[in-house]
Amino acid sequence: MGRDSSFWLSPVFLLPVTPPGNFSSKDSNIPQILTKFAETSNLAFMINFECDYTEGAHASILQRLAETNMEQTPGYGKDRHCENARQIIRRVCNAPDADVHFLVGGTQTNKTVIASILRPYQGVICVETGHIAVHETGAIESTGHKVITVPGINGKITPQLIEQVYRRHFDDKGLEHCVQPGMVYISQSTEVGTVYHLNELEAISAMCRKLELPLFLDGARLGYGLAASDNDTSLADIARLCDVFYIGGTKIGALFGEAVVINNPSITPGFRYMIKQNGGLLAKGRLLGIQFETLFENDLYMQLSHHAVEQAMRIRCALEAKGVALAYASTTNQQFPILPDSVIEHLSDRYIFSTTEHLTPGMTEVRICTSWATLSENVDRLIDDLDKAFDCRRPRECKRGYRPRR
């Protein structure tokens, strides 16, 4: 299966490395052995659709890092590159007073932001599929804060669900015996590839402000959400409606990095202390600033995001044309088809993808994920192999077209 394949695939790299000692590349057969092993195990032909961080970084970022490599700058994000990146982010978010910080990864960012907002007896509300609830090894709980989950609708929370949790707690006569809801966590795009539309985000924000619950938006895949054909929100909208959010770089062209944007002044005091305490204050902070400078030059961030979504929608269109059911109405870079196990077995010889849930006997939900670096020709191959896997049945016309939001 796709997910299992990654465990034996990932350690192998076919590089013409000269062995140590007295061996030379001329008389050693090690490269030939590696090549033969790859040919017999199909490793040389695997195409990875497992996640959106399989590649390194966009060439522009690598070039800029190389050009600035020998600069001497202050540490911990106090360099000119970080300050310039902060100013750029404030401008594109139309948030001149925002407090902007740079961290390394998504889980680290979620943990730091949430721990900085909540009191020791409080928890964070999120949907059952939320990243902090299912894919962070209890990082939030390790800080002493409960993740209070609710069943989402297409991966999204609603104002009504937020209010239910709030009322259930504060209407309880023994409320001090239970974890108090202290904030709300959402993500854009969601873990199942859907997006919050502007009216939904406005309603959630209004409810959070009514109940005095800070709203935190996880933007690890924010670019992909902004690039969705049905998206009607902007960075300025998100900055206006959320107390704090972050712009993800790790999954959208950067080597690593997330930019936290704080719009609620009450969160700012002590935030750098929290970053340091959670191991996120990078000594060579300029490495983060340079990457975000580059991502927001010449609209590179959105160009990369549009590319990933376009490739994902090509795959979705091909699946729909074959009558394949998809678990979610995703308009972003993650697609969740429900496939016969025979088709999955056919595809797993050439592709890596994640198995998300075994459904009825013989049918499994998988995740096919594109990225900023997904090659169009690899998508072409997948679509061709889907044709073969479905016995070359005559495909129905796909009426869904990807219309990028520029």
pLDDT tens-digit readout, 25-52: 344 444 454 444 444 445 556 999 999 9
Tell me, yes or no, whether 92 and 205 share the same domain. yes
- 360-380: average pLDDT: 95
397 lies in some domain: no
Question: Which CATH number belongs to the domain containing residue 145 in this structure?
Answer: 3.40.640.10
406 lies in some domain: no
Domain boundary among 295, 329, 362: 295
399 lies in some domain: no
Tell me, yes or no, whether 122 and 206 share the same domain. yes
State which residues form the domain around 8. 2-55+300-389
Q: State phi, psi for 336 to the nearest 5 degrees.
A: -125, 75
Tell me, yes or no, whether 290 and 307 share the same domain. no
Answer whether 332's CB lies under 8 Å from 311's CB. Answer: no
Band the pLDDT of 173: cuts 50, 70, 90.
confident
**Alpha-carbon distance 79 to 73, whole Å?**
6
Tell me, yes or no, whether 154 and 250 share the same domain. yes
Tell me, yes or no, whether 88 and 44 share the same domain. no
- Total-model pTM: 0.86
What's the Cα-to-Cα distance from 392 to each of 14, 385, 387, 395, 400, rounded to whole Å? Answer: 34, 9, 5, 8, 21
Domain boundary among 295, 311, 333: 295
Tell me, yes or no, whether 282 and 307 share the same domain. no
Collapsed DSSP state (helix, strand, coil) of residue 288: helix
**Alpha-carbon distance 127 to 148, whole Å?**
8
| Number of domain units in the chain | 2
Tell me, yes or no, whether 204 and 93 share the same domain. yes
**Alpha-carbon distance 406 to 404, whole Å?**
6
Answer whether 244's CB lies under 8 Å from 263's CB. Answer: yes
If one compares 381 and 30, the residue with the highest pLDDT of the two is 381
pLDDT value at residue 357: 87
**Alpha-carbon distance 231 to 245, whole Å?**
17
Query: Both tokens of residue 119?
Result: 């009191």
pLDDT value at residue 172: 84
